[in-house]
Structure 1
């Protein structure tokens, strides 16, 4: 099988995105964001999210680190779930670049438990301890769960009450919006998010992420952050190649259509696995599915179609559906599973 169920990072680039890159490649354009595509893309972000400031960077880790760096104060620390991507999968980049410490909160579903997070409020206003001034959540979470709008609003209210900013890692925000049937603006500005790391590489673009600033105080400091972007090695000289991808992604709801396919394929895979009496360990709402497989079939099945083992102790695996996965791909995978399970 030529496709993988390991991650939506494995997929190629959507044909419309590739076409737009080729179109943007014609002629000369001003560098560092002075090109027509960056101007148009920023306008499109304002149409989708309301009045925002948008800064383009190279990748997801940079988007998260840059967002957190923007919100940093002297002695700042970040409250996040212990499963947060910024804590578990970004090689300590936030700590290295910003100097901030992560204050992690135990979780069973990837979501931030406010009651458990409250213990860190005791750290505030004492210079012997890191000062929690940022709360960071992922939508969807690393566990495949999705915050409801009310849950995000509750976390935002908690953050604001205690003088903290709210950052959202939106690597899969498009899948979450489709699952909840809401707009991107409702999920972010409408819920009190201050800064969003808006992901595109998991939803059909080639490279580049977008930092979307909602908070009025932070928006007024955007010129400072342009210096910070340069210092953090994230100023792309030929920015049109990032911007045109987002312009295409947001036009004609391509972001929605791509995410919808991923979500639907995850539900289809869930149904087929349940027919084989495979245990599903998460509520499948986005494009991510966790399951317990017979240990004997995992390795040969990975050779056929690669996926990640999430917990080797329980044989729990993770499947992620990309925008280009077809039912026929899943049918082939299921047939291979049946063959391996019958041996």
Structure 2
């Protein structure tokens, strides 16, 4: 499996993918925006056919990325063509796939089937579902076996109709677009407010529903007491500030107000 060196399931899943699949993960260095380039991936596709070397079989990208940046359809198409060239499957980790589509102002189809994706992990909870994720298999050869794999890895839940009903509603008339656009807009508002603060530096382009920023070290803990957030890099005091479908403008204003108050005390 070829994936980004910052990939969530490479770094943060307690080796679950390796445990269940028996695959070896090959991390590929991303560019400064956390995206994989086709050229960088191809450099890692080496020694195919060599019995002494782990053989690549899949490329996986995250959309939107772990840094909250978004692959364009053209960028994804380049990777899809590379996968086809080397007889590899193409997988998208789409826990925030809806936010990416909202950013691109495109349909879900335009960044999945239209570019040749084989498998899509489609997130539901981050867009507002109570629970449930979906594995969407577009490759017909793989689709024939997916039901058995679902059962074998203990993912066949009872009463799956309650998961399906949520997805059906979410996908009807593109209902997903409304919460995705809202979350993205809240991230933009937060970014604008932080950018006006001289002691704060936004470190990544804000393209989906997350803002990465370096905060003054002494402000992080008191801010976390009121607004739980994740410290991305403790060495540089870079934090990850997530916005969601239920983030309000009042939430953003309250965060910025507290930041100013703490800075001035």
Query: Would the TM-score normalized by the shorter structure come out above 0.5?
Result: yes
User: Structure 1 length normalisation: TM-score?
Assistant: 0.75
Residues 1:209 and 2:133 are matched in the alignment: yes
1:341 paired with 2:263, answer: yes
Cα distance in 2 for residues equivalent to 1:116 and 1:228: 31
Does the aligned pair in 1 maintain the 2:28–2:36 contact within 8 Å? Answer: yes
- Asked whether the 8 Å contact 2:42–2:82 carries over to 1, the reply is no
Aligned to 2:12: 89
CA contact (8 A) 1:123 1:132 kept: no
Structure 1 residue 298 displacement after superposition: 0.5
Answering whether residue 185 of structure 2 is matched by residue 272 of structure 1, we say no
Q: What is the distance in 1 between the residues matched to 2:127 and 2:254?
A: 23
Counterpart contact for 1:105–1:113, Cα < 8 Å = no
Q: 1:276: Cα distance to partner?
A: 1.5
Q: Find the counterpart in structure 2 of residue 283 from structure 1.
A: 205
Q: Does 1:313 align with 2:214?
A: no
Q: CA deviation at 1:113?
A: 2.6
SS of corresponding position for 1:167 = strand
2:90 corresponding residue in structure 1: 166
> Alpha-carbon deviations, 1:86-139, whole Å to 9, x = none?
101111111101100001111232211322222332231111111001000000
| CA deviations over 1:288-343 (Å, ceiling 9, x no partner) | 11011111110001001111111111111111101011111111111110110001
3-state SS of 1:111 partner: coil
2:119 maps to which of 195, 209, 214: 195
Matches within 5 A, 1:1-343: 78-107=1-30, 108-219=32-143, 221=144, 224-277=145-198, 278-343=200-265
Q: Provide TM-score, normalisation by structure 2.
A: 0.96
Which runs of 5 or more residues in structure 1 are unaligned? 1-77
CA contact (8 A) 2:94 2:122 kept: yes
Number of residue-to-residue matches in the alignment? 263
Local SS of the residue matching 1:104: strand
Point out which structure has higher relative CO (alpha carbons under 8 A, 6+ apart). 1
